[in-house]
A and B are shown apart, each in its own frame.
Chain A
Amino acid sequence: MTKFKNLGNVDTRSGFGEGLLELGKENKNIVALCADLTGSLKMDAFKENFPERFIQVGIAEANMMGIAAGLTIGGKIPYTGTFANFSTGRVYDQIRQSIAYSGKNVKICASHAGITLGEDGATHQILEDIGLMKMLPGMTVINPCDFNQTKAATKAISKINGPVYLRFGRPKVPNFTSDSIDFQIGKGIKLVEGNDVTIIATGHLVWEALEAAKELSKLGISAEVINIHTIKPLDKDIVLKSANKTKCVVSCEEHNIIGGLGESISRVLVNNFLCPMEFVGVNDKFGESGTPSELMEKYGLNSKNIIEKCKKVISRKN
């Protein structure tokens, strides 16, 4: 089984900050906007290096989305930065009309996504953002798994013309992907080859999926692990190829199971062939205060839950 080494625990938001800084050096059309969360979004370095291209909008996210849409007229590539909750739910209509329907080249960059935001509690822990964003026609939705992948994704989205939702998080988590991998939007990555069950994971749960696969192999279960960083457009080929082989699928995400990655995968599956599927995610609930690991445990998002769901889905075959 392929082994992945944790190169050290780092927050994915720092990957965004580093990627943004490098982009700023490479492309003078990159403009960053922030709604009073510069430090939280790790945008300080960009601000210091390119003050003329950094726009502080204050606590006014609706205005930020509109300004971003306007900046594209004249060729700028705006990156907006705030928490995932305030990047989506709070400004849904601004994104819908001024960005998505208008086809504007805005990159909506959202930190503190999901439940691992931790102690701030449910007002700040959005678990519905993937669903909100993937429903918008033309919106690309990306949820990278670690620091290196977030940094690569931040840079890659500048190369496509159109709205993108880039989702990342607050906690320090294992950094394990190679920093030399070319980030291909819309292409899943097979991390572990296996035959008995397909685990498809996004974001912070990719590491948990790898941990689960390691434990499963000790039990004689061969799990295939696929990292889907681009939830929309979804890499249907990698899903179908693996499901054809293993005949069962478990999806893993730090999101409501309604509207998330698992739902997109299940649609691809039922359109092609029937196989059992289980969902690791938050089951239609709001979060609460706690440490990230406590919350992952309580809401059923860690490797232990993935192992249980794998066993269950395998038992449902035939």
Chain B
Amino acid sequence: MVNAVNSGHPGGSLGCVEYFVALFFSVMDRNDEFNMDGINEDIFFLSNGHISPVYYSTLSRAGYFPVDELSTFRKINSRLQGHPTTHENLPGVRIASGSLGQGMSVSIGAALSKKLNEDDKIVFSLHGDGELQEGQNWEAIMFASANKVDNLICTIDYNKKQIDGSLNDVLDLGNLEQKFKAFDWEVISNVNGNNYQEIESALNKAKTLTGNGKPIVIIMDTEMGNGVDFMMGTHKWHGVAPNDEQLVEALKQNPETIKDY
């Protein structure tokens, strides 16, 4: 997908594959048909909208729209905009994201809506680690615990990299686990997000912790560009597309790929 239009964000997308597969195909209790209100089903929000390639790939495989449509990614007249949006009515997407730091507030609103509707299903959300530098997140983190938003499971994609370099060099987040604990969240940490069993079991554990008066966060350690050796261990593949040769090389390393690239 990213190679075809020579633009997009492969690094973060590859780092979150296992999370998306576990969430959409194992953990979430979701309906087959898309309905914006998502009543009586688990729903998901992507806050770090730039990892749209893995999100779109998952949504299509989950049956929300044809897999063939992935080839329109970032092209004119496509429902698959560079960053996800509801504007083009793409089934599966409930909010626009891309401008960072807004998804947690939205997820809290949707979680409160579920409570008001006496709907006992769960709201899941995914956030980048660099995105936590946006102050709105900390307004949301404070609000969620103070208001006992306990039907919310946020996951942080903790790959410790952002566009300008390593997270610690750009703006150190400090001890993320202690910060969430200080804000009175239930924290699940030391989860290898690139190990399918580990992330699936962390998500299932988080589900058992809902309804206890605390919002839940999974701090998921990931490797940006996971599965492609030349993309791993560097921040340089945050928003750079692989060329044709690099694509061939990357696919060679992932023989089980399902060809929706």
Contact = CB atoms under 8 A, between A and B. Distances in A.
A220 interface: no
A107 to B, nearest CB: 14
Counting chain B CB atoms within 10 Å of each CB, which of A31, A57, A74, A78 scores highest?
A74
Interface string B106-141: 111111111011010000000000000001100110
A65 B102 CA distance: 9
Interface string A83-95: 0000000000110
Interface string B37-48: 111000101000
Given A62-B139, A97-B96, A70 B105 contact: yes
B43 A73 contact: yes
A39 interface: no
Interface in B71-113: 85-87, 94-99, 102-113
A76 B98 contact: no
Interface in A38-71: 52-53, 55, 57-58, 60, 62-71
Interface residues of A, number: 32
Given A60-B143, A62-B136, A97-B99, A75 B112 contact: no
Interface stretch (A98-106, A123-131, A172-180, A193-201): A98-106
A63 B37 contact: no
Interface residues of B, number: 38
B44 to A, nearest CB: 11
B249 to A, nearest CB: 36
Contact of B86 (A52, A70, A102): A102
B106 to A, nearest CB: 4
Given A31-B116, A94-B102, A67 B108 contact: yes
Interface in B138-183: 139-140, 142-143, 147
29 contacts: A52-B116, A57-B143, A60-B139, A63-B140, A66-B105, A67-B106, A67-B108, A67-B109, A70-B95, A70-B108, A70-B110, A71-B109, A71-B110, A72-B109, A73-B37, A73-B110, A74-B39, A74-B110, A74-B116, A75-B39, A75-B113, A96-B99, A97-B97, A97-B98, A98-B105, A98-B106, A101-B85, A101-B96, A104-B95
Interface of B: 36-39, 43, 45, 85-87, 94-99, 102-114, 116-117, 119, 135-136, 139-140, 142-143, 147
Sorted nearest first, the 4 A-B pairs with minimum C-beta distance are A70-B109, A66-B105, A74-B113, A63-B139
